[in-house]
Amino acid sequence: MGTIYLISGILLLLLTMYDFFFTTLSGGGAAFITRFVTFISHACLKLCVKWFGRRVYSLSGMAVNLSVLLVWIVLIWVGLYFIYSSDPGAIVNDKGRMANNWERLYFTGYTLSTLGLGNFAPTSVTFEMLTSIFSFFGFIFFTTSMTYLISVSTALIDKRSLALSIRNLGKTPEEMVYRLLNQDTSFSRQNLASLQEKIERHSIYLQTYPVLHNYANSEIPGSLSLNLVTLDEALSILLNSKEGEKMKNALTAIRGSISYFLNHVETTFSRSLHKEEGPDIHTLRGWEIISSSAIKDPSLYNRRKVLGGILKTESFEWQDVYDSKPSAEST
């Protein structure tokens, strides 16, 4: 039984420590435990939204962060406890009595918290070294975790800033198109260039901190999924119109940045991305602005399916894109 405890504890610690350090220090995304936990926590939030409305999403960031942090703590705690439990005499109290299961669990927690109370102590050099190592690791763990969460919070602020910047351009694709075409062309180009920069920055943040994908927003203006899809629909209208020719370079550039973002989302979050076919692209009143060939373009069709999946991550539907006051806003 001691061997089973030892092997289980070592494997659990190795897997959790790899997940922790890869997620927080590599800059290359999240490892499998973190991805699974964020997926489950976000799925639970979406379920609660059906019962209580979008206000549940105000807890999104806190729920995802605490879920990941709690799982890391529990797995490391349990893994170290298993190692201590591999030898019943590994831990004794100040009177020399062997610690029972609850006392070993208690000693493990205090070791990881770096408090190191003296009423229990390891009995051999091996377990003394193990206790020292994980006391030091506990300090690294909590310091690194807080640093990581602060960085994620900064990226989240930028995500909401991007959503608000897009929202200020218009609440519907038609409104965005009219505003871009009726204001000074150079100003429209500058506006699109600014949005392009923010979209590219968010794409980089998303690659570094994938948990951002599961951060939803309870308020419509701060919801990136809805506003980004609205912007992309406006770009589809403009890129297939004669009126959009005068700023085609700026439109193509920002469209490319959004394409890069969509490709990353489709590749990285395929498990949670429930693609949904979009309706026919709306045409502006009185304008023959979308050609029939563009509507049937396979690349545009596939693109809008991915966009539909992104809408669903924040509990939106396609009808919300073309409605100046989305139905989700009232829930």
pLDDT digits 0-9 by tens, 253-271: 999 999 999 999 999 888 7
145 or 331, greater pLDDT: 145
Q: Rounded mean pLDDT of 291-312?
A: 76
* Residue 329: per-residue pLDDT: 53
CA pair distance 84, 107, nearest whole angstrom = 9
pLDDT digits 0-9 by tens, 26-81: 888 889 999 899 989 988 988 888 888 888 888 888 888 899 999 999 999 999 99
Read off the pLDDT band of 119 (50, 70, 90).
Answer: confident
User: Looking at 70-79, 86-95, 190-199, 295-304, which range is the least confident one?
Assistant: 295-304
* Residue 330: per-residue pLDDT: 45
Burial class (CB in 10 A: 0-12, 13-18, 19+), 224: buried
SS3 content of the chain, % helix, strand, coil (to 5): 75, 0, 25
Residue 138: both structure tokens together = 């506990």
* Residue 117: per-residue pLDDT: 65
**Residue 93 — φ and ψ, nearest 5°?**
-85, -175
- Using the structure block, give the residue that is written with the tokens 């029939």: 292
DSSP H or E run through 68 = helix 60-85
- Indicate whether 331 pLDDT > 60: no
- Indicate whether 10 pLDDT > 90: yes
Read off the pLDDT band of 296 (50, 70, 90).
Answer: low
Q: Are residues 130 and 122 in contact, defined by beta-carbon separation less than 8 angstroms?
A: yes
* Residue 293: per-residue pLDDT: 47
Q: Are residues 111 and 121 in contact, defined by beta-carbon separation less than 8 angstroms?
A: no
pLDDT digits 0-9 by tens, 195-254: 999 999 999 999 999 888 888 888 889 999 999 999 999 998 888 877 788 888 999 999
User: Looking at 41-45, 93-97, 204-208, 277-281, which range is the least confident one?
Assistant: 277-281
**pTM of the predicted structure, to 2 decimals:** 0.84
Q: Are residues 34 and 19 in contact, defined by beta-carbon separation less than 8 angstroms?
A: yes
Read off the pLDDT band of 282 (50, 70, 90).
Answer: low
- Indicate whether 124 pLDDT > 50: yes
Please report the DSSP string for 261-297 in residue order: HHHHHHHHSTTT-------PPPPPTT---S-HHHHT-
- Indicate whether 276 pLDDT > 90: no
Name which of 69, 39, 34 is nearest 149 in CA terms. 69
Read off the pLDDT band of 292 (50, 70, 90).
Answer: very low
How many percent of the chain have pLDDT more than 90?
A: 43
Q: Are residues 203 and 298 in contact, defined by beta-carbon separation less than 8 angstroms?
A: no
* Residue 288: per-residue pLDDT: 47
Residue 6: both structure tokens together = 């030892």
- In the chain, what are the domain boundaries? 2-145, 156-330
The architecture CATH gives domain 2-145: Orthogonal Bundle (1.10)
Residues 6+ away with beta carbon under 8 Å from 260: 200, 203
Q: Which residues pair with 93 in a beta bridge?
A: 120
* Residue 105: per-residue pLDDT: 92
* Residue 46: per-residue pLDDT: 86
